[in-house]
Amino acid sequence: MTRIWFLLCCFVLLQVSTPVSGESDNDENCSVISLSLEGAAGLIYYPFADRDGINPLRLSIDARGRCLFGVALLPASGAHLRGPGQPLNLSFRDRGDRVIPMNGSEQRWLQFEPAARGYTLDLVVKLPVGQARRIGDYDNTFVLRVFANGQWVRDIDFRLSARVAPQADLQLAGNAQSQLGRSAGMNFGELEEGETLSAMLAVRANGAYNLAVASENNGQLQHVSLKGENTAVPYRAWLDGQQLSLQGGKDSRSFSAPENGRRLRNISVQIGDTKGRMAGQYRDTLRVTVTLLE
């Protein structure tokens, strides 16, 4: 059995409202009165989830006349958020999931929706899944450059910030399995002293973590139907070559944060003395728990 430890991260966008004095050559030209940019706070981003993190943005423009709007984006320091670890990558996309370049000059002529006062444009900020970044706060400043009928109107400065929270995940594969899963088995067949089998542990974590191994039968294989004398077979176990003490039921080891958030580890079991043991099937269950330390 494995246990997953995770928290949420937050993504904060501050509303920006900018008045604009529009100029027009005639009554049919576009006259922009004001601009505002809004975004929902509280983005939930899971580094090891099965989908990207998504946060909506809405650009509202109060304008009169015939208007064809375009936007361009410009980051202050790279197309990502900066923090205690590697940069947290992101992208801006329109409703059709098309990427809006972040070079400040390449305009995207997008379909604005009519609103009670002017027009609105819905965008999303996408944080790709699988970014095992160090725990902490990440942020950056961006510029949304707005154009009307090919002419620059106004730059809106806005700040994006996110807190990457701790998360860990664990899967296993034993000698009888070819794929990782939430449980695994070691099938020794006929027990012989000194026989050794191993299982693979696939750890995903964005911080230092602890692996605890607990034995249901205190480091012994127990006869499945008999109790008493000669009904238990002792064994020894190792985690990445470090012997575990399971006679008390549980032992653990701590590890530093894995590079790129992923690390394969090995747990092996060696059968002890089998002489004089009652015939039959023997079993023990090892439970591995991953706990983040940061």
Q: Where are the domains of the chain?
A: 5-164, 167-292
- Which fold would CATH assign to domain 167-292? Immunoglobulin-like (2.60.40)
Question: How large is the C-alpha radius of gyration of the chain?
Answer: 29
For the domain covering 5-164, report its CATH number: 2.60.40.2410
* Cα dihedral across residues 23, 25, 26, 30: positive or negative: negative
Query: What does the pLDDT profile of the chain (294 residues) look like in tens digits?
Result: 333 343 333 323 333 344 444 443 444 688 999 999 998 666 777 888 888 888 889 999 999 888 899 999 999 888 899 999 899 999 999 988 999 989 877 878 888 998 888 899 999 999 998 899 988 888 899 999 999 998 999 999 998 888 888 899 999 987 766 678 888 889 999 999 999 999 999 999 999 999 999 999 999 999 999 999 999 999 999 999 999 999 998 999 999 999 889 999 999 999 999 999 999 999 999 999 999 998
Q: What pLDDT does residue 15 have?
A: 36
The whole-number pLDDT of residue 76 equals 84
**Domain pair 5-164 / 167-292, same fold:** yes
- pLDDT at position 250 is 93
Please tell me the predicted confidence (pLDDT) of residue 246. 96
Q: How far apart are CA 202 and CA 12, in angstroms?
A: 33
In this prediction, residue 18 carries a pLDDT of 42
- Report how far Cα 146 is from the mean position of its chain's Cα atoms: 33
Overall residue count recorded for the chain in this entry: 294
What does the alpha-carbon distance between residue 209 and residue 261 come to, in Å, rounded to a whole number? Answer: 11
Contact 1, 287 (CB under 8 A): yes
- Name, in order, each residue with C-beta under 8 angstroms of 190's C-beta and a sequence gap of 6 or more: none
pTM for this predicted structure: 0.73
Rounded Cα–Cα distance for residues 129 and 261 (Å): 12
CA 276 remoteness from chain centre: 51
